[in-house]
Amino acid sequence: MTDTINIKIFHAINAYASQNTTIDNIAIILAEYLPILFILWLPYLWFHKDDNSKNIALLAGYSAVLGVLLNFLITAFYFHPRPFMMKTGTLLIPHDPETSFPPDHTTFMLSIAIMLVFNKESKLTHS
């Protein structure tokens, strides 16, 4: 059941791959460089004026490390093939044949984003 939903979502996202080079290039750029923007946001917060920004940067960094470590533990016990390993979809970026769950990029960026949003909300409610 989960595999069916996973494949349907993948096909919905991947349906337009290789049909428009501009969209393909945008997708490739986002996949390759969006995590870098998340990484660069943390030093920006660190060098911001107040100590609260430093704390938020530290918490977001810890959260990202914890998320990646959790991914490592999950992948040690669970393997789910990437779609190209199942010979489905169009591959835009070459990738090693490794597990697709949990996704490292997504976990990394969500760990940082959730911590930033949580702390922003916390800061707004306590001011």
DSSP 88-126: -S--SS---S-B-SS-HHHHHHHHHHHHHHHHHHHHHHH
Q: Looking at the domain assignment, is residue 82 inside a domain?
A: yes
Give the model's pLDDT for residue 36: 93
Burial class of residue 60 (count of CB atoms within 10 Å of its CB; 0-12, 13-18, 19+): buried
**Residue 103 lies in domain:** 34-126
Give the model's pLDDT for residue 65: 94
What the block records as the tokens of 98 is: 């490794």
CA distance 64 to 101: 16
Give the model's pLDDT for residue 92: 82
Give the model's pLDDT for residue 1: 56
Please tell me the total count of domains within the chain: 1
Q: What's the pTM?
A: 0.75
Q: Looking at the domain assignment, is residue 17 inside a domain?
A: no
- Tens-digit pLDDT string for the chain (127 aa): 556 787 888 788 888 888 999 989 998 999 899 999 999 999 998 898 688 888 899 999 999 999 999 999 998 898 878 777 777 878 788 877 777 777 888 899 999 999 989 887 555 455 5
Tokens 């969500």 map to which residue?
A: 110
Please name the residue ranges forming H helices in 17-103: 21-46, 51-77
Radius of gyration of the chain (CA): 18
Q: Looking at the domain assignment, is residue 68 inside a domain?
A: yes
CA distance 7 to 111: 24
Q: Looking at the domain assignment, is residue 109 inside a domain?
A: yes
Q: Looking at the domain assignment, is residue 87 inside a domain?
A: yes
Give the model's pLDDT for residue 121: 56
Q: Looking at the domain assignment, is residue 14 inside a domain?
A: no
Give the model's pLDDT for residue 7: 80
Q: Looking at the domain assignment, is residue 108 inside a domain?
A: yes
Tokens 């100590």 map to which residue?
A: 51
Q: Looking at the domain assignment, is residue 22 inside a domain?
A: no
Paired with 100 in beta bridges are none
Give the model's pLDDT for residue 119: 83
Give the model's pLDDT for residue 15: 85
Give the model's pLDDT for residue 110: 93
CA distance 2 to 22: 32
